[in-house]
Amino acid sequence: MKLVYPIILTPYEDHSGGYVVTAPDMPGLVTGGDTLAEALDMARDAASGWVLTELEDGRDVPHASNIADVTPDEPDGIVSLISLDMDAYAEKYGSKAVRKNVTIPAWLDTFGERHNINYSQVLREGLENRYRELQGA
């Protein structure tokens, strides 16, 4: 899943070239960097982590504001967009697991037990494949 969100970059008060970054659609998200490039990278990472936490906690992905509706609080603030690749981020950093009970026919359970099949792994691989198919659609 690819997402795009507006961010606000505010130059450091000491005018050292760095920026504080906030995201209007992600309450509490604050990061920064000593250069514009670093601030943008940090914003992408922090926002991806913020969204992943929402998803892992069972909440919906926040709706992205229209960039035209976002204004910085400071006169020298910059409004920009960041792009998030949540599939790649979740694959690398996602760690929360949930337990699900499933019902299968007895004959299939016998087959699985005889062949030492890891049911959790098979279900996960199948769901991940289906997820990728539907994301590409």
Cα distance between residue 97 and residue 44, in whole Å: 24
pTM for this entry? 0.69
132 and 75 in one domain?
no
Residue position matching structure tokens 């929402």:
54
79 and 23 in one domain?
yes
Segment 8-29, tens digit of pLDDT: 999 998 878 899 999 999 999 9
**Residues 130/122, Cβ–Cβ less than 8 Å:** no
67 and 6 in one domain?
yes
Rounded to an integer, the average pLDDT of 118-129 is: 87
112 and 80 in one domain?
no
Domain of 116 in residue numbering reads as 106-136
114 and 59 in one domain?
no
126 and 78 in one domain?
no
Segment 46-72, tens digit of pLDDT: 999 999 989 888 888 899 999 999 999
Phi-psi region of 15 (alpha: psi -120 to 50; beta: other; left: phi over 0): left
Segment 77-91, tens digit of pLDDT: 999 999 999 888 887
